[in-house]
Amino acid sequence: AQSVTQLGSHVSVSEGALVLLRCNYSSSVPPYLFWYVQYPNQGLQLLLKYTSAATLVKGINGFEAEFKKSETSFHLTKPSAHMSDAAEYFCAVSDRARGSSNTGKLIFGQGTTLQVKP
Amino acid sequence: DTEVTQTPKHLVMGMTNKKSLKCEQHMGHRAMYWYKQKAKKPPELMFVYSYEKLSINESVPSRFSPECPNSSLLNLHLHALQPEDSALYLCASSQVALSGNTIYFGEGSWLTVV
């Protein structure tokens, strides 16, 4: 069974500083990994997705994530934080059950709240 | 902008009421999902529809009744809910219900049960 763990439920950075949100996964098969962002009182928006085509994945709004198999990690980074980046971030893995149980459902981490200070 | 549209955005209902949440997507997707999200928690899967057929029910109480009238529409019928059912209900869709397909979410419907 797949799972993800997000290290740090709350991360605070200054505007212009590097953003690093950590995600580690557990999977016995090559995983499909996602990062979603949820702004206050909104739904989830896809930031980026890893499907084995390239280990460094670039997403929207200047975010990127690097897949490291040896570390079972998929950390999200952004070189320079903006106030508008303040939100909840979820790492997720796509369930890879076999046969008819394979519905592609997402297994989410617990989320990381990003605070950006002026 | 999300291409998954949910109505209403806010709903307040009593424990004896019957109401419905509606969801529509125009991306030609053949998989649609209902998730429930409590404050400060990740979304929890409730139902999956694949090609208009219910393929997953994650042991959801029968007071929640999903319906998929066609490939673009998904409803969630609500009856005799409890206050603990108050949450954000997210509809989502993907091209097909298989691993690796990107799941696109709507803005959600905020439900308050009084």
**Model pLDDT for residues B36-68, shown as the tens digit of each residue:** 999 989 999 999 999 999 998 889 999 999 999
**Structure-model confidence comparison of residues B22 and A105, the more confident one:** B22
Among candidates B2, B98, B100 on the partner chain, residue whose Cβ is nearest the Cβ of A43: B2
Q: Residue B94 above 80 pLDDT?
A: yes
Chain B residues closer than 8 Å to A109 by CB: 42
Q: Residue A101 above 70 pLDDT?
A: no
Q: What is the pLDDT of residue B14?
A: 92
State the average pLDDT for chain B. Answer: 94
pLDDT (tens digit per residue) in B11-21: 999 999 999 99
pLDDT (tens digit per residue) in A20-77: 999 999 988 888 999 999 999 899 999 999 988 789 999 999 999 999 999 999 999 9
The shortest C-alpha distance from A62 to chain B (Å) reads: 18
Among candidates B41, B90, B96 on the partner chain, residue whose Cβ is nearest the Cβ of A44: B90
What totals of helices (H) and strands (E) does chain B contain, helices first? 0, 11
Closest Cα partner for B89 from A43, A77, A82, A40?
A43
Chain A residues closer than 8 Å to B2 by CB: 43, 45
Chain B residues closer than 8 Å to A5 by CB: none
Tokens of B58: 């994650």
Closest Cα partner for B104 from B51, B45, B31?
B31
Backbone angles phi, psi at A86, to 5 degrees: -60, 120
Taking an 8 Å cut-off on Cβ atoms, the answer to whether B96 and A104 are in contact is yes
% of chain B surpassing 70 pLDDT:
98
